[in-house]
Amino acid sequence: MTKPRLFRLWLALGSVFMILLIIVYWDNVGTAHFYLHTAVSRPHSPGPLPTSGQDPEKALAADVDEFLEKLLSAGTKQNILASKKTEQPAPSVSGRPVLGNMEESVRGYDWSPRDSQQNLDPAERQAERRSVLREFCANASFVFPAKERSFDDIPNYELNHLIVDDRHGVIYCYVPKVACTNWKRVMIVLSESLLDQGVPYRDPLDIPREYVHNTSTHLTFNKFWRRYGKFSRHLMKIKLKKYTKFLFVRDPFVRLISAFRSKFELENEEFYRKFAVPMLQMYSNHTSLPASVSEAFSAGLKVSFSNFIQYLLDPHTEKLGPFNEHWRQVHRLCHPCQIDYDFVGKLETLDQDAAQLLRLLKVDKNLHFPPSYRNRTASSWEEDWFAKIPLAWRQQLYKLYEADFVLFGYPKPENLLRD
Ligand SMILES: *[C@@H]1O[C@H](CO)[C@@H](O)[C@H](O)[C@H]1NC(C)=O
Ligand SMILES: *[C@@H]1O[C@H](CO)[C@@H](O)[C@H](O)[C@H]1NC(C)=O
Ligand SMILES: *[C@@H]1O[C@H](CO)[C@@H](O)[C@H](O)[C@H]1NC(C)=O
Ligand SMILES: *[C@@H]1O[C@H](CO)[C@@H](O)[C@H](O)[C@H]1NC(C)=O
């Protein structure tokens, strides 16, 4: 080979390599395996590395982040809400607010002024929720555990509730007891992650329940490490920046009632053994308990709501491990001060929020959110449920869930917190 030809070959190879490098950072998905093999070649920083007295790994990570920041600030994803607002007139929910669920409207459900969001149009309602969230995340006098840590400091196993759909660029943080079965179904349909005889599911309701809750069905952030190795955090950050992120929340106390009803009032073998047995032993002095939940139920041995609250307040409980996801605080599941959610849905306005979200994701033509038909726990029952719980416990419980109340704009339940 002649010298000029060799030179041209090197030039061509070099260009291809640079382009590939950009693709790897830009569109990480299909090139995931390539990612691993290029671990040695990183984008060069414009200046020298700021290594003085710093961990070189950290400096490098910061460097890569800066590179990504620049790359991404070219602005691929606009704020869906901002861009949509001009495009599309608000759906005409003219006049009276429409309540999605009859139960939520019975017996004077207390929509405080804060939640008078019922009257706002959907885009304004989102803007309001997100601004409340941002305001309290930024407010230094409002504190709760782990509030101030950065996204990098969140361990992988705490990112196991973030489900990613690369096909549409959507990230959903699932919160158990907040319509999560149906939203997981929607994520399966969107990402085509589950096949029915070789064909992806098209209707969320066709997906069998046992598949919906099988963690191996979903691509979650905590699995990134295994797939993408040391670049997984950078990849997460790219996706967090480019994708539309949403979650659904609900009144924290009503969520607790709902968790109690479904896990301890219905026969559930797993929750009986793991949680009901220790609760009955510790808080009701039962020494010998039946091995199965059906035997226990026939013998009239059930955890009371008061046992459950006592368990939540017991300082020993979390020494053994974090709260089960059904009663773990939403801010601990979804990290709303570290992740800038684009859409905050609420169960209290589920039907409108679901329709709005699917419209924003531009998937509303083919996809409908499954209607909720079950007897949903209503806020109006709250006082009945808490009637037998001592005032001091109710106040402690509020403290325990206060961050969720405040961040998501739920009014403090004053009527439960005084005599
Ligand atoms: C910040 O939070 C504190 C405590 O919750 C509250 O009293 C205060 O009004 C908040 N400040 C702003 C500016 O919202
Ligand atoms: C979840 O799915 C995987 C793979 O399809 C399967 O091997 C596993 O048994 C399932 N787990 C449960 C609890 O159903
Ligand atoms: C359980 O037993 C202990 C000791 O026998 C007693 O002090 C306590 O009051 C009992 N608690 C309940 C809830 O019955
Ligand atoms: C829903 O369930 C609650 C408590 O289990 C019950 O009191 C209520 O009557 C039920 N409502 C309907 C409409 O079934």
**Distance in Å, CA 122 to ligand 2 centroid:** 39
For ligand 3, atom 6: residue with the closest CA:
285
* Atom of ligand 2 lying closest to residue 215 CA: 1
16: Cα within 13 Å, side-chain hemisphere: 6
Give the C-alpha separation, 30 to 32, whole Å.
6
Q: Is the CB of 285 under 6 A from ligand 3?
A: yes
The dihedral built from the CA positions of residue 103, 376, 341 and 132, taken in this order, carries a sign that is positive
**Distance in Å, CA 374 to ligand 4 centroid:** 10
Q: Is the CB of 284 under 6 A from ligand 3?
A: yes
Tens-digit pLDDT profile for the chain (419 aa)?
566 677 787 877 777 666 555 555 554 443 333 333 333 333 343 334 444 455 666 666 666 667 666 666 654 454 455 544 443 333 333 333 333 333 333 222 333 334 455 677 899 999 999 999 999 999 999 999 999 999 999 999 999 999 999 999 999 999 999 999 999 999 999 999 999 999 999 999 999 999 999 999 999 999 999 988 889 999 999 999 999 999 999 999 999 999 999 999 999 999 999 999 999 999 998 888 999 999 999 999 999 999 999 999 999 999 999 999 999 999 999 999 999 999 999 999 999 999 999 999 999 998 999 987 666 777 778 999 999 999 999 999 999 999 999 999 999 999 999 98
Dihedral pair phi/psi, residue 171, rounded to 5°: -125, 130
pLDDT recorded at residue 379: 73
pLDDT recorded at residue 299: 95
For ligand 1, atom 12: residue with the closest CA:
139
Tell me which residues have their CB closer than 6 angstroms to ligand 1.
135, 139, 141-142
Residues 6+ apart with CB under 8 A from 285: none
For ligand 3, atom 10: residue with the closest CA:
285
Amino acid at site 397: L
List beta partners, residue 248.
345
DSSP class per residue in 110-147: ---GGGGGGGS-HHHHHHHHHHHHHHHHH-TTS--TT-
pLDDT recorded at residue 13: 76
